[in-house]
Amino acid sequence: MNGRRILILANAIFRTVRDMAVALVALLFFGITFVLPQRIIVRATGFLARVIGMRMPQLYRNGMHNLALAFPEKTPAEHRAILRQSWDNMGRTAAEYFFIKQIWDFDPAARQPGQIEISGEEIFIRLASDNKPAIILAAHLANWELPMIAAERHGLDATALYARPRNRWIAGMVTARRQSSMNSLVMSGPGALQRLARALEAGSHLGLLIDQYFIGGPVINMFGHSTAANPIFARLARLFECPVHMVRVIRLPGDRFRVELGEELILPRDGNGRVDITASLQMAANVIEGWVREHPEQWLWVHRRWR
C-alpha cells in the first residue's frame, strides 16, 4: 500500500470516528431532553452555540464578511453582536428539533397564548381546502422547520426539499425526527426536481428554502451585491402555473414564535406571458432581504451567500 492510499484510509478513518463521536454527543443530548425542561435545554444550547461558534475561525470570517457586505453602515462591534445572536438562534433551532411537537401548541381558541402564534391562518386553511398545488417559500430565519409543522397541523398535503447532513448518523436521527412530525420529504440532489414536479402533479404543496447561494444559478441582487439563486421554484411555477406564497418565522421573547404566511405573489411575466425566472427570483430575494433587515440576528449569516 503506497503513501497516498494510507493517507486516504487514515482520513476516512478519522472522518468516521469524528462523525461517530458527534453522533454520540447528539444521542446523549437526546437522552437529556427526557430529564431537563425544554426551555433550559434550548437556552443552554443557544449559549453554547454563541460561545463555540464565535471561536470557529472560518465560519466567523464568513459571518463577518457577509455582515460587512449587507450592513456597511454598521460597525464591526455591531456585526459581531448580530453574528453572536445568529449563533444563539442556530443553537436554539438545533435543540428545538427534539421538542418540535411540544413547541407547536397553537390553539386559536385558547385564552392564553402559547409558544406559537400565526398570522395568515386563513391562508393555511384556504390552501388545505382548494384542491390545488402550491409552492411555499421560506428562508433560514428563526426556526425554519416550523412552517412544515404548520402545514401538517392545518391538513396540507405538503412536500419539503431538504439537504441531508453529511454525517450519516446525524442524518438518520434528523430524518427520523422530521418524518415523525412532517409530511413528505425530498432529499436534494439528482432527481429532486423530478420528484418535486411529481408532487405538484399530485396536488401537493412544496416547501422550499431559497435563501442560499446556488452554484450556476441565475444572478440576482441581494443587499446591493450580486449572488446566484436557485431557480427551482420559478421553473416549477412556470411549468405548473401554480400559486406561490412566502412564509417566515419570527423568534419572539419568552421562547415564542410567530409564523407569518403571505398571500399569493404576483410573479413577473416575460414577453410571452410565462413566469420570468430571474425576475421572480429577484422578487422573492427582495422579500427575504426585508425580513433579514427587520431581524438580522435571526438569519443564517455563516453561509457563503456572496462569492
Instruction: Provide the pLDDT for residue 226.
Output: 97
Q: How far is CA 89 from CA 14, 65, 254, 269, 300, in A?
A: 30, 19, 13, 37, 9
Instruction: Provide the pLDDT for residue 189.
Output: 73
Cell of 33: 431532553
Answer for the pair 88, 50: CB distance below 8 angstroms, yes or no: yes
196: helix, coil or strand? helix
CA 136/CA 151 separation, integer angstroms:
10
92: helix, coil or strand? helix
Instruction: Provide the pLDDT for residue 38.
Output: 84
Answer for the pair 145, 93: CB distance below 8 angstroms, yes or no: yes
Per-residue pLDDT of the chain (307 residues; tens, 9 = 90+): 566 766 666 666 656 655 556 556 665 656 666 667 888 989 999 999 999 999 999 999 999 999 999 999 999 999 999 999 999 999 999 889 888 888 998 888 877 888 999 999 999 999 999 989 999 999 999 999 999 999 989 999 888 887 766 656 555 655 555 555 556 777 777 788 888 999 999 999 999 999 999 999 999 999 999 999 999 999 999 999 999 999 999 999 999 999 999 999 999 999 999 999 999 999 999 999 999 999 999 999 999 999 8
* Cα angle value 266/268/271 (rounded, 5°): 140
Name the DSSP class of 299: B
